Structure 1
Amino acid sequence: MLQLVMGFVEDPPDREAASLVCRWWHRVDALSRKHVTVPFCYAVSPARLLARFPQLESLTMKGKPRTAMYGLIPDDWGVYARPWVTKLAVPFECLKALHLRSMVVIDDNLAELIRARGHMLQELKLDKCTSFSTDGLRLVARSWSLGNSGSLPTLLPDEVRKLKQLSVLPLVESTKILPYDQLMQELDVSNVQFAAGRDLTPDQLNNMIEILSDWFGTSDSLLHQIQEKIKWADTMSDVNKKHRKEFEDRVEEAKKSIKADIDIRGHDDYLSESVGIMDFEEDRVRPKR
């Protein structure tokens, strides 16, 4: 009975308070707890968490503290997910959701997790985690889709077509030239003439023509405005160049004028100094009366 009642208590502080009542309540809380959030991955060991809550269905694990967002913690500081993945891979038979935040997760960790828990894991979140690649994510996606294909909802024809179109993206990444026959095979299109209008019904044709006409008019007007702006910019550039040339010419003329003035003044000073010396010599050789 207590275990049934405890199952309705979902608030973590209330569960923690209930677990402190007595050993029996502590044990019931351990067996009925479905979700646990570990605020710091080094706050508790994986073995301790396994022993405390053996029936977990959802686990949220946080790595680097918030100070890492401001560059106060080096990149190779730690918070590796490997110890947790190794412990969580086998014992937690009920684990369905795993949320890792700000931790170092490599592709081998994802592969180990998928091998052990891929048949049960329904949700995997890697929030602000590093060191994994698209190969690891592709492994997760492939394992989940194959293992849970029976539980997937039925897709509409439009959704199936979109998925086929998305399947072309890996082909484009792997090769620069995509043969037309291969493209038709991937998209499941055998008749190009039929495929040309399959996304547009006849009653939508007039509306589509009107929309395209408006778009063409708007584009033409926008291009005209851009050309006018380009002409105005070229005109202003020429005016600025002209003003700059005139300014440089005035500066150069002022420099020449100042230099010529200095040269003339220096020559006059030399002549006046020479006349003064000659007068002094004449006074010195003149006999006294």
Structure 2
Amino acid sequence: MATQATTLTDGEALKQFTILAKSGKGRACVAVIEQALNHPNVFVFGELLDMPNIQELKNTEFKSYYDLLQIFAFGSYSDYITSKDSLPQLTPQMTTKLRQLTIVFLSSSSNVIPYSILQKFLDISNVRELEDLIIDSIYQNIIKGKLDQKNKHLEIEYSIGRDVQPEQLDSMINILDNWSQSSQGLLNNINKLVEESEKVHVLYHKEREEFEKKFETAKTQYKPEPSEQLYYDSMEYSEGMGMMKNNKSAKTKKDYNKRP
């Protein structure tokens, strides 16, 4: 069963817009972009951005909508603020979404984000407004974390994935290759430890079996010397006599105290 976080990034909600973009031209593609940016479950835009009809907007009067889509795919709210004069105006839904995507963007650099950094990138001066945005993002499973109001920072445990720019792919591949090599080295060391442990386990059981066999053989072959047997018999006799004496003394004492 898909989680809410998976639903936001699996591209399923975006499919309807990529289908529309196949046949739409010019202003029709602008309408598709606006619908996608306002949709509550669309948080990845790379597939739509790559559509040929969307790419054509770069050379038309609607280039600003293509640029806006790029910011939603790869950028942050501060990127929008920097170029807002040449970009379409955001709706309240777009503003909230781009700010949430900006939190995701910041979480890729650090899992502890101070309020001051968030306020700067999100262009929010009111702390209560900032915390409300973060809480809504947590409820929507865009991020997973907690607010530290005392130390004024956000602790991130998890965030959804975002689109990756083509120029970032080589760097990501190198990171994954290094991770794969490190994991393989660690796996090899674990396998060696397991093999050594199994050898020790087998050797232990083999030595234990040999010891038990020798012990059983020694038990069957052992016979006590006559003097030892006589000593044990004497001990048993002495102990028996002692019990008899004790019983007799007790009886004598009892008879002595008995009145005629």
What is the TM-score of this pair, normalised by structure 2? 0.28
Q: More relative contact order in 1 or in 2 (CA 8 Å, sep 6+)?
A: 2
Higher helix share: 2
What is the TM-score of this pair, normalised by structure 1? 0.26
